[in-house]
Amino acid sequence: MSTTDEMTSRPVTHRDRKPESAMSTGTDRQGRPAEMDVLPPNQPSALYEDSFGSKYPTAQRFCHEAKKAWGSCFPHLFWVLPTLGVAAGLLQLNSLFVFVLNLVAVIPLSAMISSSCDELGDHLGDLIGELLSATFGNVVELTAGVLGLINADESFSQSVMIGSVLSDALFVFGTCIIAASYNKKVLFFNKAAAQALSSLMIITAITIILPTTLYSTFPVLDLGDKIESFSRGTSIILLVLYIGYLYFHLVTHKHLFQSQSQQNNDSDSDNDADSNNADNHPSGPFSPEIFLKPALHIAFAVTGTIVCTYLMYIHIPGTMQITSFSKTFIALILVPIASNSTEAAEVLAAARNGDVDATIGMIVDSILQISLFAIPFLVMLGWAIRQPMTLYFETSHTVIFFFSIMFVNHLLHDGRYMYIHGTMLVALYIVVVTTFYMD
């Protein structure tokens, strides 16, 4: 076969480049001499050069294109799904259809809240970003909890909170360990930060198990008023502890919660800042437009999430009749899974990139936001609106919550992971799902 035939039979790639001595000469469209590559035979056809100049196998090309297509379509879900969910609720369609549609609609809305809070945090500082994340990042759980309080449904509010912690501690944590340990025998992480966070989780577990222990130990006594007083006092302490945790996490011991790459980036940023100050380069002028867009996104997404969560809540009775799901199962399993889907995707992405410290930090931080902020906030809100909300949870919920926290705490103190640990966590979560489905 001639050189020209070889060139027309398959694509030219950068690996086929030859030195100038190995180049043949032809003519271009104007008749001038032009150099052409002489390609070696038996070039693999499964590889190709994409627009970025990197090579992918055919299967990876499909995944790459699918990811690009999903990325281009996903922003439209911010508008389509909530609109459809609200419209279905206003038209009073089938309860199951309205419930499922609004349950799915909170996923892109939660993603918008998360990204907008991160964007504001980049401009306003980590502390403000963390406070925004704690306030608006759990808007589904908080809205569901408030709706339960208003309707005197304390068990529903408690089930949503416990379910969110179990989803993070077992399912999200387990899948991330599996993803991060792929093709790795052992994973190591920042043990000092993990132990500090695990100690906080133990404190929250103790505060939740104490009221149940009091009821079990003194069944003949009327402890209702005492449990309410205990819950309110403990909630104040937990909220103060959460503020102290934020100060510890974001100010005094920030370096403990950063991976090595983040510390290097911060060091480079500090050096650049010092260089700019030395050269007397002023920073750019303050622009309200930087804050206006993410603030509007947060306002829209929070409003949409509240409306969708309300439509979910009022259609739970109809969904229970159609599907035979219990209210506990919906609150403990379905609502937390939808609420934590965006966070799970972010954590999985960090796990696949091998950033184990960031993965653990995000998961434990989410658990502490619920345990140290959301639950005490609902107790204080119930006190303010004169609706009973205590830290006395159902015995089954308390036992599962306590042992799940203890299991995660043991893994954090161990200092290393293997894929079998993640498999055990996911298996335990499946057992929990099955238990409450059969309830």
DSSP letters for 70-98: HHHHHHHHHHHHHHHHHHHHHTT--HHHH
Element (H, E) at 48: strand 48-49
Find out whether 379 and 232 touch, Cβ atoms under 8 Å: yes
Distance of CA 61 to the CA centre of its chain: 27
Give all strands (DSSP E) within 136-259, no chain letters.
Answer: 187-188
What the block records as the tokens of 78 is 């911010």
> Whose CA is closest to 80, among 47, 112, 58, 39?
112
Dihedral (Cα; 113, 118, 124, 128), 10-degree rounding: 70
Burial 62-83 (b: 16+ CB within 10 A, else e): eeeeeeeeeeeeeeebbeebbe
- What is the structure's pLDDT at 235? 92
- What is the structure's pLDDT at 255? 66
DSSP 8-state assignment for residue 324: -
Find out whether 250 and 127 touch, Cβ atoms under 8 Å: yes
SS3 category, 402: helix
| Distance (Å) of CA 116 to CA 113, 139, 293, 378, 424 | 5, 14, 8, 25, 34
What the block records as the tokens of 324 is 């035979």
pTM of the predicted model as reported, rounded to 2 decimal places? 0.74
DSSP 8-state assignment for residue 286: P
What the block records as the tokens of 112 is 């918008």
- What is the structure's pLDDT at 75? 55
Find out whether 248 and 257 touch, Cβ atoms under 8 Å: no
**Which neighbouring-strand residues pair with 288?**
none
Find out whether 329 and 439 touch, Cβ atoms under 8 Å: yes
- What is the structure's pLDDT at 221? 58
SS percent in the chain: helix, strand, coil, step 5: 75, 5, 20
- Residue identified by tokens 């079990």 is 216
What the block records as the tokens of 16 is 């086929």
- What is the structure's pLDDT at 310? 94
Task: Quote the longest CA-to-CA distance of the chain.
Answer: 104
Burial 107-121 (b: 16+ CB within 10 A, else e): bbbbbbbbbbbebbb
SS3 category, 215: helix
DSSP 8-state assignment for residue 42: S
Per-residue pLDDT tens digits of the chain, which is 439 residues long:
444 444 444 444 444 444 444 444 444 444 554 444 444 444 443 333 343 444 445 545 545 554 554 444 555 566 788 888 889 888 888 999 999 999 999 988 888 888 888 788 777 776 777 777 767 778 899 999 999 999 988 899 999 999 999 998 899 888 888 888 777 777 666 666 677 777 888 888 888 888 888 777 766 556 667 888 888 999 999 999 988 888 887 777 676 666 544 444 444 444 444 444 434 443 444 466 677 888 888 888 889 999 999 999 999 999 999 988 889 999 999 999 988 888 888 888 877 777 777 777 788 888 888 988 999 999 999 999 888 888 888 888 888 888 888 888 888 777 677 888 888 999 999 999 998 887 6
Give all strands (DSSP E) within 183-312, no chain letters.
Answer: 187-188
- What is the structure's pLDDT at 146? 93
The span from the CA of 390 to the CA of 413, in Å, is 31
- What is the structure's pLDDT at 256? 66
Query: Which amino acid is it at 432?
Result: V
What the block records as the tokens of 423 is 């498999």
DSSP-assigned states of every residue in 229-245 = HHHHHHHHHHHHHHHHH
Query: Which amino acid is it at 131?
Result: L
If one counts every other C-beta atom within 10 angstroms of the C-beta of residue 145, the result is 29
- 338 phi-psi bin (left φ>0, alpha ψ -120 to 50, beta other): alpha
pLDDT tens figures, 12-70: 444 444 444 444 444 444 455 444 444 444 444 333 334 344 444 554 554 555 455 44
H-only helix segments in 280-340: 288-314, 316-323, 327-329, 335-339
Find out whether 177 and 188 touch, Cβ atoms under 8 Å: no
In the chain the domains, ranked by start, together with CATH numbers, are 76-262+288-437 (1.20.1420.30)
- What is the structure's pLDDT at 408? 83
Backbone angles phi, psi at 187, to 5 degrees: -110, 135
